[in-house]
Amino acid sequence: MSERNPYSSRLPLDEQRDHLMVQVAKLYYDLERTQSDIATELGLTRWQVGKLLTEAKAEGIVRIEITPRANRKTSLEVALQQAFKLRDAVVVPMGEITDPALLIDSVAQAAATYLANLNPKPDLLGVSWGRTMSAVARALPSGWNPGAHVVLVNGSTTLQQTSTRTSAVAEEFAQSAGGTATLLPVPAIVGKSSTRDALEEDPIIERVLALAEAAPVICYGMGGVSHQSVLMSSGYLTQADIDRLKALGSVGDILGRFVDHQGRIVDPALDARTVGLRLEALRRKDRAIGVVAGEEKHQIAAAALRAGYVSVLVTDEATARNILEETE
């Protein structure tokens, strides 16, 4: 009669177990044996092999290091995903670079790469407008999502001419994808709440907003509350408006809606004059992809995360670290 393997009935609880974990890990990771083969060789069950591999990682016997070929800070990505229960995160290492234009371009490129590699790719995609989203549109590769339908989710008709075309995001997304765009050809902010209500009840505008609600994926930028705000340069807000919003505790805007540290609307009267998708809709999306970069955006990025408006964050290293430090 052959001698029975001592591990076939139950796993040891002492130092012998540590040696067994090393043996199982070596067979699995270094010698590329299957769990079934290891179980047969050592007289274990597949369940026991799986348990030993799990314990080996938990106790530090096995350390798995992700070394991406892409330029990414995976340790910060994991920390953000754990802290805010995110579906995904992309963090771009930028070293000591603080130039806003360079940060935006690098993060926009990472967002474009993320979108182009989505699987499955969305047939219907919602986008916002602004400097960051315009940079994402420029970075998208040609033919990245043939046949895609891109819908603009907030009003964008500018009152003043600017040096950059920050409002033509949906068209550029659709053109690079090889698809079509549906625009929201109304102002971002109107003069009266009754005007906003009338616009949103119009059958054409209502149809666009219904598309925005139906889009499973939304990609949007965030704005800081400063005199450099794109809403101010577009003619919707004055310096006095920005100063007043700061005094009310605003840390920036999401889809043109100004919020505080917790993502709560700071000026209901202004919000009632803002045309477009409501912020709570972002929580219902399969992917709400927030793209944000630069020191001016640290607080609004954190607010969006706290409020659950983001399920995928694309940002720079300094912003990621700042968010995590504040969280701790």
Say yes or no: 150 and 59 in one domain.
no
The pLDDT tens digits along the chain (328 residues) read 344 444 444 555 566 788 788 889 889 988 888 999 999 988 899 999 999 998 888 888 887 666 555 678 999 999 999 999 999 999 999 988 889 999 999 999 999 999 999 999 999 999 999 999 999 999 999 999 999 999 999 998 766 655 455 668 999 999 999 999 999 989 999 999 999 999 999 999 999 999 999 999 999 999 999 998 889 988 899 999 999 999 999 999 999 999 999 999 999 999 999 999 999 999 999 999 999 999 999 999 999 999 999 999 999 999 999 999 988 7
Buried/exposed code over 12-41 (b: 16+ C-beta within 10 A; e: otherwise):
eeeeeeeebbeebbebbeeeebebeebbee
User: Is 8 among the domain residues?
Assistant: yes
Say yes or no: 188 and 82 in one domain.
yes
Say yes or no: 44 and 132 in one domain.
no
State which of 30, 64, 98 marks the end of a domain. Answer: 64
Count other C-beta atoms under 10 Å from residue 293's C-beta: 31
User: Is 183 among the domain residues?
Assistant: yes
pLDDT of residue 10: 59
Say yes or no: 234 and 311 in one domain.
yes
State which of 22, 46, 64 marks the end of a domain. Answer: 64
Say yes or no: 79 and 153 in one domain.
yes
Say yes or no: 95 and 198 in one domain.
yes
Say yes or no: 34 and 134 in one domain.
no
Say yes or no: 170 and 296 in one domain.
yes
User: Is 298 among the domain residues?
Assistant: yes
d(CA 142, CA 241): 40
User: Is 270 among the domain residues?
Assistant: yes
Q: Which residues contact 182 (CB under 8 A, 6 or more apart)?
A: 149, 150, 151, 152, 170, 208, 211
User: Is 69 among the domain residues?
Assistant: no
CATH code of the domain covering residue 311: 3.40.50.1360
Which domain covers residue 13, as residue numbers? 1-64
Q: Which residues contact 89 (CB under 8 A, 6 or more apart)?
A: 76, 77, 78, 80, 81, 312, 313, 314, 315, 320
User: Is 321 among the domain residues?
Assistant: yes
Say yes or no: 278 and 165 in one domain.
yes
d(CA 204, CA 303): 33
Say yes or no: 156 and 304 in one domain.
yes
Q: Give how many domains the chain has, as a whole number.
A: 2
Token pair belonging to 319: 């912003």
User: Is 318 among the domain residues?
Assistant: yes
State which of 64, 82, 114 marks the end of a domain. Answer: 64
Say yes or no: 265 and 286 in one domain.
yes
Say yes or no: 280 and 164 in one domain.
yes
CATH code of the domain covering residue 43: 1.10.10.60
